[in-house]
Amino acid sequence: MKDVTQLDPVALRTLATAVRLGTFEAAARELHVTPSAVSQRVKALETRVGRVLLHRVKPLEPTEAGHVLVRLASQTELLEREAIAELVEDDGGADASYTSVPVAVNADALYTWLIDALVRVQAAHRVTFEVLREDQTRTTERLRRGDVMAAITSDPRPVPGCRVVRLGRMRYVAVATPDYVATQLPEGPTAGALERAPIVVFDRSDTQQHDFIRKLTRRHLAPPATYIPSVGEFDTAVRRGMGWGMIPLVQVVDDLEQGRLVEIARGRHTDVPLFWQHWRLGSAVMTDLTEAMVAAAHEWLGASRG
């Protein structure tokens, strides 16, 4: 690779904008330049680093080297915005722009404790958030691509350039209505019954129900499945008897105590480890976001263990 010191910040930002918006034309509109200027900036950056940075397809797809520089552009922009906000604040001005922080999180964290953490950070900083929902097994890919600055993940292995903080474990139990169990699983969770009994699944990335079946039966079964990609509606479907499903214990404690729901395999559960991965930056926003995320997670995840 060529000498890549003193990379042009304008070209870096142009690259990141083109990747985010998917085309040179869209990037040109946002940056108030021509598509030709966008293309020339990206090409000059490629010449500087001696690597192809973009696959010229629609939408534009960064190469591995492109991902590295998109991350750098986002990191630089975050630090610049924080510095400008601090200067404006020192001047007594009220016109500091907001810093935008994209994060990738799993659906259950988003539904339970994520907002608590974001509210706490927004009370201390001029910051907004772009929350991207993704299964916890896939959020690190968003980090690796430079799509987000931080993520909740089940993977403890750090993405290059990131720090990992353990949040805890979210406990899930397999629950259904008493009528469903009496009808579909009258003899208990046998392999034959579990193969026929309908289940509720969040989306195609959600393997929890099938993993639980394998843990109980040591077999790969394919029961009838209804896919409902919303936490609230997923819970409602289970509570209305559409199937059994894996729900965080903290969300069903009262229902289990009152008999509105029952465990299909009493005493069996799944603990999903969760970690917070974030870019290693000297950023006050990221430091406070990490502290708030850990505090909110410990409160909720501690409750989820019963």
C-alpha separations of 159 from 85, 94, 169, 189, 275 in Å:
29, 37, 20, 39, 12
- Cα(229)–Cα(210) distance, rounded to whole angstroms? 16
Q: Which residues of 277-290 are buried (b: 16+ CB within 10 A; e: fewer)?
A: bbbebebbbbebbb
114-169, pLDDT tens digit by residue? 999 999 999 998 899 999 999 999 999 888 888 899 999 999 999 988 999 999 99
Question: Per-residue pLDDT averaged across 257-282, rounded?
Answer: 94
| Cα 135 to Cα 105: distance, rounded to the nearest angstrom | 7
Domains of the chain: 1-91 (1.10.10.10), 170-272 (3.40.190.10)
Element (H, E) at 30: helix 24-31
CA–CA gap between residue 255 and residue 239 (Å, rounded): 9
Residue 90 banded pLDDT, cuts 50, 70, 90: low
pLDDT at 92 (0 to 100) = 47
Residues pairing with 199 in the sheet: 225, 244
Q: What would the pLDDT profile of 3-14 be if each residue is shown by its tens digit?
A: 555 789 899 999
Mean local confidence (pLDDT), 56-63: 90
Strands (E), 202-294: 225-227, 245-248, 262-263, 270-279
Taking only the tens place, the pLDDT of each residue in 37-50 is 999 999 999 999 98
Report the chain's mean pLDDT, rounded to a whole number. 90
What are phi and psi for residue 187, nearest 5 degrees? -100, 10
Q: Cα-atom radius of gyration of the chain, to the nearest Å?
A: 23
CA distance 10 to 16: 10
Say if residue 1's pLDDT is above 60. Answer: no
The pLDDT tens digits of the residues spanning 172-219 come to: 999 999 999 999 999 999 999 999 999 999 999 899 999 999 999 999
Q: How many CA atoms lie within 13 A of 211 on its CB side?
A: 13
C-alpha to C-alpha distance for 288 and 52, rounded to whole angstroms: 36
Q: How far apart are CA 73 and CA 142, in angstroms?
A: 15
- Give residue-wise pLDDT tens across range 96-113: 678 889 999 999 999 999
pLDDT given for residue 240 in this prediction: 97
What pLDDT, on the 0 to 100 scale, is given for residue 196?
A: 97
Residue 89 pLDDT grade (very low, low, confident, very high; cuts 50, 70, 90): low
**Percent of the chain residues topping a pLDDT of 70:** 93
- Model pTM above 0.85: no
Which of 89, 143, 116, 154 has its CA nearest to residue 284? 89
**Measured CA distances, 164 to 100, 114, 151, 269 (Å):** 21, 17, 10, 26
